[in-house]
Chains A and B, each alone.
Chain A
Amino acid sequence: MAPVKVFGSAVFANAARVMACLEEVGLEYEVVEVDYTAKEHKGPQHLSKNPFGQIPAFQDGDTMLFESRAIAKYVLRKYSKPAQVDLLREGNPEEAAMVDVWTEVEAHTYLPAIAPIFYECVVYPARLGTSSNQKVVEESLEKLKKVLDVYEANLSKNKYLYLAGDFFSFADLNHFPYTFYFMTTSHASLFDSYPSVKACWGRLMARPSVKKISDGMVLRA
């Protein structure tokens, strides 16, 4: 059986999301580079895999998928050995619901606050040669602080080790790529004011899957 393929390297946060899940289930996979600067993701070959021209895309035999969170869930459902890895908790409706809640929060509340900081401080200067838009950075930091206030309260009030409860889940893993990139900026120390969040982040970063993928997340200009 040919290994599954991820189209787009770990430098792309959403590809890293998928790869962290592949590492968690211990499945062999192949990474196919997509040349972003050459706009390969908008070319016909990539569009046949991801019709919206985004990274990543994914192939498992005849199954072609796109959207990193959809790919990740497919991988976790198909390849998890339940005794070892149960990041979705789909056998337990209440737990699965909490995993979904915090997965949605990451996508729609956390990400819009944290991602612009990374893009302004690292990506745009590297790719476009521009200096960071300080107004965007300041506004995003204010938004992020309010979000982290809620995360901190949730973790410390419930004395949870992880976001959805006392179990590590897909919800925590989803926070990895963009938080990792945020931590490469000069604003990383913001997390020092949120001890429970910082501790949760430490647990996430300590996972072999996350350590391995983050090693490949070196932004090349």
Chain B
Amino acid sequence: MAPMKVYGWAVSPWMARALVCLEEAGVEYEIVPMSRCGGDHRRPEHLARNPFGEIPVLEDGDLTLYQSRAIARYVLRKYKPELVKEGDLEGSAMVDVWMEVEAHNIEATLWPIIRHCIIGQYVGRDRDQAVIDENLEKLRRLLPVYEARLSVCKYLAGDDITAADLCHFGFMRYFMATEYAGVVDAFPHVKAWWDALLARPSVQKVMAGMPPDFGYASGNIP
């Protein structure tokens, strides 16, 4: 069986979402590196894989998939269905709930902070503190709900790790490298949950490809 291929740049938090699920699933895969600054994602050969011109893209034999959460679900269903609690009606619903919460609240709140605190300085964009503050406020309203949830169970969908937790990794990784990590640390159960994620071999392996500055300072511009 040919290994799966994942197209994209490893520093991307969206790519990380797919990669951490591939690692947890124990699947053989290879990364096909692409250059964001070189515009690889807009070239015809990539548009043939993903007509929206985005990464990551997964190839598994004849199947080509995009959208990081669709990739995550496909890989986990196929190789580690317990991570999506397949066959468990209430369990799979909780996985879905917290994947949706992440999708509609966390990514949208953390990414602007990450862009302005980390990336901006390397791409000539002025730091907009108002944008940072607005999103920190949103985060401060979200975290108490997470704290309450993680006070009653160890992970978001229950006492076992699932796709819901893993899907948070990429954006959390970079947010926690900003000066605002303390906002999360102020919530002890959220902090413990994040520390537990960091301790996982899958997370450590993917994180090794994600320098906190996205590679800009060392000249490895994504």
A interface list, Cβ under 8 A from B: 51-52, 63, 65-71, 73-74, 77-78, 90, 93-94, 96-98, 100-101, 103-105, 107-109, 150, 153-154
- Determine which of A65, A70, A104 lies in contact with B69 in the assembled complex, contact meaning CB atoms within 8 Å: A104
B52 with A97: CB separation less than 8 A: no
A154 with B51: CB separation less than 8 A: yes
In chain B, positions 136-173 with a C-beta closer than 8 Å to chain A are 142, 145, 148-149
Could you pull out 30 A-B pairs where Cβ atoms are within 8 angstroms? A51-B145, A52-B142, A63-B90, A63-B93, A67-B96, A69-B100, A70-B99, A70-B100, A74-B89, A74-B92, A74-B93, A74-B96, A77-B89, A77-B92, A78-B89, A90-B86, A93-B74, A93-B78, A97-B63, A97-B65, A97-B70, A97-B73, A97-B74, A100-B73, A100-B74, A101-B66, A103-B70, A104-B70, A153-B51, A154-B51
B67 with A101: CB separation less than 8 A: yes
B70 with A150: CB separation less than 8 A: no
Give the shortest distance, in Å, between B151 (CB) and chain A (any CB).
12
B interface list, Cβ under 8 A from A: 51-52, 63, 65-67, 69-70, 73-74, 77-78, 86, 89-90, 92-93, 96-97, 99-101, 103-105, 142, 145, 148-149
The residues of A that contact B148 with a CB separation of less than 8 Å are: 51
- Determine which of B69, B74, B101 lies in contact with A96 in the assembled complex, contact meaning CB atoms within 8 Å: B74
4 new A-B contacts, CB < 8 A, other than A90-B86, A107-B104, are: A63-B90, A67-B96, A69-B100, A77-B89
A105 with B52: CB separation less than 8 A: yes
Bound-state Cα–Cα, A66 to B148, Å: 16
The residues of B that contact A74 with a CB separation of less than 8 Å are: 89, 92-93, 96
Whether A70 contacts B70 in the complex (CB less than 8 A), given A51-B145, A52-B105, A94-B63, comes out as: no
10 A-B pairs with least C-beta separation: A104-B67, A70-B96, A67-B100, A100-B70, A74-B93, A97-B74, A70-B97, A101-B70, A51-B145, A150-B51
- Determine which of B77, B103, B149 lies in contact with A93 in the assembled complex, contact meaning CB atoms within 8 Å: B77
The residues of B that contact A153 with a CB separation of less than 8 Å are: 51
Whether A108 contacts B96 in the complex (CB less than 8 A), given A51-B148, A97-B73, A153-B51, comes out as: no
B101 with A67: CB separation less than 8 A: yes
Bound-state Cα–Cα, A97 to B62, Å: 13
Give the shortest distance, in Å, between A101 (CB) and chain B (any CB).
4
Give the shortest distance, in Å, between A115 (CB) and chain B (any CB).
12
Bound-state Cα–Cα, A101 to B50, Å: 11
Q: Which chain B residue shows the least CB distance to A153?
A: B51
Bound-state Cα–Cα, A79 to B74, Å: 23
- Looking at A67, A78, A93, A103, the one whose CB has the most chain B CB atoms below 10 A away is A67
Q: Which chain A residue shows the least CB distance to B93?
A: A74
The residues of A that contact B69 with a CB separation of less than 8 Å are: 100, 104
- Looking at B92, B100, B148, the one whose CB has the most chain A CB atoms below 10 A away is B100
Whether A107 contacts B97 in the complex (CB less than 8 A), given A74-B89, A77-B92, comes out as: no
B101 with A52: CB separation less than 8 A: yes
The residues of B that contact A52 with a CB separation of less than 8 Å are: 101, 105, 142, 145
Bound-state Cα–Cα, A63 to B149, Å: 15
Give the shortest distance, in Å, between B88 (CB) and chain A (any CB).
10
The residues of B that contact A108 with a CB separation of less than 8 Å are: 67, 103
The residues of B that contact A100 with a CB separation of less than 8 Å are: 67, 69-70, 73-74
Bound-state Cα–Cα, A175 to B194, Å: 34
